[in-house]
Structure 1
Amino acid sequence: MEKRVELLDTFPIYGYERKSLISKEKGCVTIPLKLELPEVFSLDQTDYTILNELFFNVINILGPNKLLHRQDYFFEENYKPIGQRLEGDFMERGNELYFNERTFLRASHFLFISIVPTNYIKYGSKRVNSFLSKKRDYFLEKTIPEEFVNSDILLDFESKVENVSDLINSSGLIKSTILNYEDLFDDNGLYAKYFSLSCQNKNLPDIDFSNNQIQIGEKLAQFYTLENLDQFTKEHIGQNELYGKFTTRHNKFPIGNLFSIGFKIPHEHIINQYIYIPEQDKALGQLRKKAKRFNQFGNGRKDDSNGIYANQIYEFNSDILENHKEIVFYHLNVLGFENKKEGHRKMCNTIAGAFKKLKVNAKENTIDRKNLFFAGVPGNAVGLSSDMYLPMSSDMAASLLYFEGEYKDSSKAVDGLRLVDRISGRPLTVSVYREPEKNDWIFNRGMLIASGSGGGKSYVANHYISSELRQGAEAIIMEDGNSYDKLTKVFDGIIIEHDDESPFTFNPFMLDNYDTVYHGNNKTTLTEDKIVYLVTLLKLITGDEKNTDNSMSNEVKKTVLENLVIGYYNQMWEKENQNFCFNTFYEYCRSHLNEQTKSKKVARDVFDPNAFLFLLEKYYKDNPRGKLLNREDERITRLSNEKVVYFKLGKLIDNELLFPITALMIMEIFNKKLNDKSKLAINKMMVVDEAWKALARTELEDYFNNQSRMARKYGGQPIFISQKVDDFIASKVIKNAIVVNSHIKVFLDMRDFEGSFEKIQSVMGLGEKQKQLILSINKDLSEKRKFREVAFCWMDRVKVYGVETSLVEKCIYETNPTQSDRINTLYEKNNNNWELTAKEYAYRSSN
């Protein structure tokens, strides 16, 4: 008949005093710490060096008869839709329902630091966890040991652990906090989680150790242990490993030594690591005795195993003493658990395989299952028997700790971009600029989106723009394709196309409330923005080769143009003439330019007024470009008040003269949004997709720099998108005017540029870790889910996410011509209703 014991009797903790847990094993006192680890893939080799040195120092500070127990929980959680998102538009609802009940791993990390009895090294498997054989009355009747009540001992230990916690926090990589009573003992506290092997616990299940198994409720658990040096199949353990799937000859990608047994095991599990710090002289003496015994049984030959083992011990002792290290005893185990009816054998194979990747032959341990389980109870690390430890140096033990935590973004937030954790597929809400601005990661919202061919840049741009529009933003988009038609229609925007039959025309000399300042006494002046805009326009249509050899000529021309613009408006206001247009401006120039340059004695080789007038004349009245700058296009009036405006530029984007002029006109509309005081609190986006070549004009460099300053001041976000990444390298104008002013850089698949990425890295100002992560994109995709990856770089920071959307959203974001034609057919069938179209598209695509 099986023996049944109440959980209270098997609970190894005697009490909780101040910040310390007191074990039923006499003399064992533990202070529990909760750790917040660096996000997975975020560490470089320098960081791993810092972390190794950190725990090397922790071991040194704590001193002998201390026991460190690192415990890392990887528990499953299911996504629950957010009510506010379910009340949103059909795309947001589709996204929430798509992720509903998705299962993913969540991680939490702990460090338990214990004082253990001085003779702990002699605790064999029969001695540990002896409380299991004692009745409850035993602990009530026996005298409480001094260690439990001596406040000086507890205070001294508490002070030492607080120093360790402060040291951990000072690293800047890991956060440490001491757990309080509620964190441990509440209904859903740490103990409830451990004894139920679940992140959410209502009622504690039964625990059954019979039949060489561990069964906890419906879950079947299995321990895999590292308890002997012979289990290692590699000779050297460094401070970190290289992750094979990301590492190429162009890109060495560092990862922690135990990375493979963390998130890469797609099953619920717990990692337990124990580091016992003995009295050094006693431990080294015991090893010397062991070496002598090996020598006694040796035969003196070179291949004699006893002699080899003895020499290894002597070398180990020498390394400890000569390099001022500590000798410690280390143990590692992984407790995996699955529903007993499903997946248990697959889980076991996965864990064994994960250890193989570490070059460790893990032992599937059933014999010690009870001791291993109770040693994993927070505060009862002393329950691990000494014969399960292997000796090693403190620096090696520090390098064998687990260091990779989960993504920190909140999946419960609403105001952000929906992406997923690239390892577990957990839905995340990513703050693209709000949190980075708040945390001083960036100082402007300017964004670049770059990818190789077919990298999905327009899809990501659609997803981001949609997210921002949903939160109240406004957008002006210009592109030569059809990538934003559906998005614009869904958000009731305006699409304006340029073609030969209906070319863009506009009147840049017209004035509105944003262009002038009234000073009283009937005195009105132009704003600085309007002057800069018109001067830039005149430079574009007359040519302005900006170079250092002719800097005086450039400044003279700029001054002449400013004087012409200001003089023109002053004359028009004096004559009360409201016919502001290019024609009247040209007539003013023709009447005043020669006189102005003569009076100022401007030499013709510095500025030739006749040549200037000749170039302007092309845009006057019936001349070849006479219609371009003299009349306001009815399609363009009042566009600054629209939420979404999409300019489809078509062939115009390849016209080196007309496109920059049109782009300047579109940016003037963006300026109106920026200057609207009622829109200060909303994000105002200016999206330029595949327009780099035409914008790489020296005349526009100053204007773009001015635009960037305005956007930063008034809450605007210029977004430049291209797959022609070579443009980044080729154009100094783009680098100086756009790249430098874009603190958010977004990269999709860049494998086409891996061999030449150093040039892109230099121009973009990217760090080594940013390069490593960008070149890792799409190289380790989950077979279970279809998504592509994207890297967000905020100045010197970087994170890679998965871009995964519902089929409802895919219907709106899709730019593939074949799919777009199919979607347009469904749109006509559903009477031009995008919600019905998206739902039918999703249904047909999933069946």
Structure 2
Amino acid sequence: MEKQLALYDAFPIYGYERRSLIAKEKGCVTIPLKLKLPEVFTLDVSEYVQLNELFFNIIDILGPNTLLHKQDFFFEETYRPIKGRLQGDFLERANEFHFNERSFLRTQHYLYVSNVPKNYIRHSPKRSNSFLNKKRDFYMENVVPKEFVSTTVLADFESKVESVVALINASGLVTATVMDYDSLFFENGLYPKYFGLSSVNINLPDIDFSDNVIQVGNKKAQFFTVENLDQFTKEHLSTNEVYGKYSTKYNQFPVGNLFSIGFKIPHEHIINQYIFIPEQDKVMKQLRKKAKRFNQFSNGKKDDSNAIYADQIHAFNTDVLENHKEIVFYHLNILAFGDEHGQHRKLCNSVSSAFKKLKINVKENSIDRKNLFFGGVPGNSVGIPSDMYMPMSSDMAASLLYFEGEYKDATTSVDGLRLVNRTTGRPLSVSVYKLPEEEDWIFNRGMLVASGSGGGKSFYVNHYVASELRQGAEAVIMEDGNSYDKITEVFEGVVIEHDDERPFTFNPFQLDSYDVVIDANGKNRLTENKTINLVTLLKLITGDEKNVNTSLLSLEVKNTVFEILIAGYYERRWEEDKANFNFDSFFEYCKDHIVALVKAKGISREIFDSKVFLFLLEKYYKDGPRGKLLNHEDDRISRLSDEKIVYFKLGKLIDNELLFPITALMIMEIFSKKLSDRSKLSINKMMVVDEAWKALDRKELVDYFNSQSRMARKYGGQPIFISQKVSDFIASEVIKNAIVVNSHIKVFLDMRDFAKSFDKIQSVMGLGEKQKQLILSINKDLPEDRKLREVAFCWLDRVKVYGIETSLEEKCIYETNATESGKIIQLFKDNHKNWELTAKAYAYRSSKKPLKT
């Protein structure tokens, strides 16, 4: 019958003093650190080198008789709907129910630094965890070995650990904090999690080591160990590995050497890694003795194994000495566990398969299960038997540490864009611009969205716009298709379509409270933004800048003349107390004053031709060919200032090089008015321009775009530019300077079509190598059991990839595929033109499994 122990007796830690854990076994004193590791997939090769150097230096700082135990928890968590989101619109509720009860892995990472007695590694394995056989009274008389009673020894140890913490935090990649009593021992502290093999402590379960297994409550656990160099079949170990599923000859994607035994094991597990630093002279002497014995038993032949082993030891010693390395002893194990006993073999196969990808023959270890379990208890790393360690150089040991952490985005936040972690499917609330602004990752919210054909850009933009609208944002959308009809109607916005029967008309000269300020003399004066808008309009109408022979001087003269005419027109109308501002009255004012102005200023005809100027303006005057365009504000447009979402469907107008830029300018002024509204300072104001690049490629618009970007940055606005023709972004200097440079958030969907030519895109977009690697990895390793697409967010020099996964109800509203949209429109008609009923009907129809015949 198995011996039974109370947890008090089986607990290997005697106490916690001065931030240190005191183990019952061999007087080991440990300072526990909690680590935050870099987010998975975000490191480049140079950063893996940096991490290797970091832990190489840590080993050097700590010195002999130090034991490092790095522990990584991968515990399962289940998603529960967020109350605040359940109170939202029907799309948000559907999203919560879509993710309800989803299980995923969460991680926590620790480093325990222990000061151990001399010659610890030479202790007999039979002495491991001997405290289990001792009575309580023994520890009342034998608390701490004599050497640790010395305050000098403990103070020196604490000083070294403080140096290690400072070094880790200075790296900019990993952070470390010393754990306090509560975080270790309280209800949801570290020890309850370990002994319960659970992220949430309900009640500590019984632990049973009988029958050659480990039973923790209703969980069955298994250890897998790497304890011998012969288990490595890999010839060379670098600072990182290449992840095959994301890599091509154009894109070598780096991951950590132990990446496969982290998130890629789809079961709960704990990674334990131990590095013992011995006294270097002693261990070197022992290795030389071992090499001498091998030589004594060799037969002198080339293939003699004893001679080979002796040569390997000499080469190892030489490398250590010449390259100023340390000799350390290393051990790696995984404790994997699961609730269902029927799944135990599947769990074991998953772990073994993960190690095979690392070219390591892992050992299923049941014999040492008790020592391995107690050696994994934080602060009791001395419980690992000495014969389970293998010697290696300190740089190799540093390369064999696990470095990939989980995404740091919030899971339970009501705000934020709902995306998922690409490795585990964990639902996230991603802060697209608020957190990046607070952390100084970006300095404006401008967003550029690019993808290949069919990459899902419109689906993403629908999802993002919906997320922002429910957080109080407002949006003005321009597009030539039908991608945003449904989202506009769901959020009770306004859809305005241009066609030949009812074309858009504007009155850009009409003023409102946003366009006028009172100067120091009490007189009316146009705002800078209104002046720039009207100057840009006149530049578009006259269009001289298409002439490549136009000098910079004549361009500046032209701008100045326009400003003088605009200011003079309004001064005259205000003096005459006339409020009916329009293009016709402006043209008449120009006709009366332009000749005198040009003559008075001595401007030559070659620099500015007033007759040509009036001729070009006349087309928009009264009965001219475009006389209606700028003299009357469309009733549909005049009521838009307070609308939450306005969608302009531009149709064939987008290909009209004359009319589209003018129309776009007028629509952008609506966005400007939203920016100027002081009551809307706290909300996000979006200007979404989808597939409008060709007509916007006008030098006349550069200054206006730049002024809009400055205004958006100042007043909390977000210009969003979208295109599947990535060449549009790189073909024009105008677009590059006015849009690409002013978009600090660059969003990429599937870009595999551009893999061979991505270098040019990378250069123009100002993307780093890691950003390129992640963008080209999109959709390369999608889960088989969930439907999603991936998206990369680049915040200036930062980058992260997420999954876009939505409910079927959301898919109904965001879907832009023509065939699928046709089915949805028919459902809409069948459901009394109610989008909530339509979305539910679509979800029901889509989720039904076809009958087997």
Letter in 1 for 2:751: M
- Residue in 1 that maps onto 2:394: 394
Instruction: Identify the range of structure 1 (396-405 vs 334-343) with the bigger mean alpha-carbon deviation.
Output: 334-343
Aligned 8 A contact 1:169 1:176 in 2: yes
- Residue in 2 that maps onto 1:553: 554
Which SS does the other structure have where 1:270 is aligned?
A: strand
Gaps of 5+ in 2: 849-853
Aligned 8 A contact 2:27 2:144 in 1: no
Query: Can you list the C-alpha shifts for 1:374-407, whole angstroms capped at 9, x where unaligned?
Result: 1101111101111111110001101110000000
Aligned 8 A contact 2:205 2:217 in 1: yes
- Residue in 2 that maps onto 1:323: 323
- Residue in 1 that maps onto 2:740: 739
1:148 offset after TM fit, Å?
Answer: 5.0
1:53 offset after TM fit, Å?
Answer: 0.7
Aligned 8 A contact 2:699 2:734 in 1: yes
1:341 offset after TM fit, Å?
Answer: 2.4
- Residue 839 (structure 2) pairs with residue 815 (structure 1): no
1:564 offset after TM fit, Å?
Answer: 1.4
- Residue in 1 that maps onto 2:421: 421
Aligned 8 A contact 1:268 1:338 in 2: yes
Instruction: Identify the range of structure 1 (520-529 vs 16-25) with the bigger mean alpha-carbon deviation.
Output: 520-529
Q: Residues 658-669 of structure 1: matches in 2 within 5 Å?
A: 658-669=659-670
- Residue in 2 that maps onto 1:35: 35
Letter in 1 for 2:657: E
Query: Can you list the C-alpha shifts for 1:270-319, whole angstroms capped at 9, x where unaligned?
Result: 00000000010110111111111111111111111111110000000011
- Residue in 2 that maps onto 1:112: 112
- Residue in 2 that maps onto 1:213: 213
- Residue in 1 that maps onto 2:835: 834
Aligned 8 A contact 2:510 2:581 in 1: yes
- Residue in 1 that maps onto 2:730: 729
Structure-2 separation of matches of 1:27 and 1:317: 31
Structure-2 separation of matches of 1:163 and 1:529: 55
- Residue in 1 that maps onto 2:851: none
Structure-2 separation of matches of 1:28 and 1:672: 69
Structure-2 separation of matches of 1:840 and 1:534: 49
Structure-1 separation of matches of 2:474 and 2:733: 30
Aligned 8 A contact 2:544 2:550 in 1: no
Letter in 2 for 1:337: F
Q: In structure 2, do the counterparts of structure 1 residues 548 and 98 end up closer, same or farther at CA, with 3 Å as the change threshold? A: farther
Which SS does the other structure have where 1:800 is aligned?
A: strand
Which SS does the other structure have where 1:755 is aligned?
A: coil
Aligned 8 A contact 1:85 1:93 in 2: yes
Structure-1 separation of matches of 2:420 and 2:143: 55
The alignment yields a C-alpha RMSD, in angstroms, of 1.3
Structure-2 separation of matches of 1:811 and 1:41: 32
- Residue 699 (structure 2) pairs with residue 673 (structure 1): no
Aligned 8 A contact 1:125 1:371 in 2: no
Aligned 8 A contact 1:27 1:147 in 2: no
1:125 offset after TM fit, Å?
Answer: 2.3
Letter in 2 for 1:28: C
- Residue in 1 that maps onto 2:495: 495
Structure-2 separation of matches of 1:445 and 1:121: 57
- Residue in 2 that maps onto 1:171: 171
Q: Residues 251-650 of structure 1: matches in 2 within 5 Å?
A: 251-519=251-519, 523-545=523-545, 550-650=551-651
Structure-2 separation of matches of 1:402 and 1:84: 37
Structure-2 separation of matches of 1:339 and 1:82: 26
Structure-1 separation of matches of 2:20 and 2:575: 85
1:98 offset after TM fit, Å?
Answer: 1.0
Letter in 2 for 1:792: F
Structure-2 separation of matches of 1:708 and 1:787: 33
Which SS does the other structure have where 1:602 is aligned?
A: coil
Aligned 8 A contact 2:326 2:394 in 1: yes
Q: In structure 2, do the counterparts of structure 1 residues 689 and 121 end up closer, same or farther at CA, with 3 Å as the change threshold? A: same
1:153 offset after TM fit, Å?
Answer: 2.4
Aligned 8 A contact 1:76 1:104 in 2: yes
Aligned 8 A contact 1:544 1:699 in 2: no
Which SS does the other structure have where 2:533 is aligned?
A: helix
Q: In structure 2, do the counterparts of structure 1 residues 328 and 522 end up closer, same or farther at CA, with 3 Å as the change threshold? A: closer
Which SS does the other structure have where 2:544 is aligned?
A: coil
Structure-2 separation of matches of 1:318 and 1:156: 31
Aligned 8 A contact 1:22 1:148 in 2: no
Instruction: Identify the range of structure 1 (338-347 vs 294-303) with the bigger mean alpha-carbon deviation.
Output: 338-347
- Residue 128 (structure 2) pairs with residue 153 (structure 1): no
1:548 offset after TM fit, Å?
Answer: 8.8
Letter in 1 for 2:428: L
Letter in 1 for 2:617: L
Instruction: Identify the range of structure 1 (823-832 vs 411-420) with the bigger mean alpha-carbon deviation.
Output: 823-832
Aligned residues: 847
- Residue 660 (structure 2) pairs with residue 654 (structure 1): no
TM-score by length of 1: 0.98
Letter in 1 for 2:354: A
Gaps of 5+ in 1: none
Structure-2 separation of matches of 1:667 and 1:4: 77
1:521 offset after TM fit, Å?
Answer: 6.7
Letter in 1 for 2:119: N
Letter in 1 for 2:36: E
- Residue in 2 that maps onto 1:749: 750
Structure-2 separation of matches of 1:381 and 1:528: 69
Which SS does the other structure have where 2:711 is aligned?
A: helix
Structure-2 separation of matches of 1:573 and 1:14: 88
Letter in 2 for 1:628: L
Identity of aligned residues (%): 72
Q: Residues 113-152 of structure 1: matches in 2 within 5 Å?
A: 113-142=113-142, 144-152=144-152
Structure-2 separation of matches of 1:533 and 1:324: 67
Letter in 2 for 1:790: V
Letter in 1 for 2:742: N
Aligned 8 A contact 1:619 1:626 in 2: yes
Q: In structure 2, do the counterparts of structure 1 residues 416 and 340 end up closer, same or farther at CA, with 3 Å as the change threshold? A: closer
1:513 offset after TM fit, Å?
Answer: 1.3
Letter in 1 for 2:590: C
Structure-1 separation of matches of 2:555 and 2:153: 79
TM-score by length of 2: 0.98
Which SS does the other structure have where 2:495 is aligned?
A: strand
Which SS does the other structure have where 1:245 is aligned?
A: helix
Query: Can you list the C-alpha shifts for 1:486-537, whole angstroms capped at 9, x where unaligned?
Result: 1111111000000111100111111111112234877322222111111100
Query: Can you list the C-alpha shifts for 1:625-684, whole angstroms capped at 9, x where unaligned?
Result: 111111111111031111111000011111111110000000011111111111111111
Structure-1 separation of matches of 2:568 and 2:831: 57
Structure-2 separation of matches of 1:747 and 1:28: 52
Aligned 8 A contact 2:33 2:179 in 1: yes
1:100 offset after TM fit, Å?
Answer: 1.0
Structure-2 separation of matches of 1:683 and 1:640: 15
- Residue 39 (structure 2) pairs with residue 44 (structure 1): no
Aligned 8 A contact 2:583 2:631 in 1: yes
Aligned 8 A contact 2:195 2:204 in 1: yes
Letter in 1 for 2:579: Q
Structure-2 separation of matches of 1:237 and 1:211: 38
Q: In structure 2, do the counterparts of structure 1 residues 608 and 632 end up closer, same or farther at CA, with 3 Å as the change threshold? A: same
Letter in 1 for 2:441: W
Structure-2 separation of matches of 1:548 and 1:248: 47
Letter in 1 for 2:17: E
Letter in 2 for 1:704: F
Which SS does the other structure have where 1:298 is aligned?
A: coil
Structure-2 separation of matches of 1:199 and 1:530: 58
Letter in 1 for 2:19: K
1:443 offset after TM fit, Å?
Answer: 0.7
- Residue 759 (structure 2) pairs with residue 761 (structure 1): no
Structure-2 separation of matches of 1:387 and 1:103: 38
Query: Can you list the C-alpha shifts for 1:611-636, whole angstroms capped at 9, x where unaligned?
Result: 11111111111121111111111111
Query: Can you list the C-alpha shifts for 1:707-728, whole angstroms capped at 9, x where unaligned?
Result: 0011111111100011010011
Query: Can you list the C-alpha shifts for 1:435-469, whole angstroms capped at 9, x where unaligned?
Result: 11111111111110111001100111011111111
Letter in 2 for 1:666: I
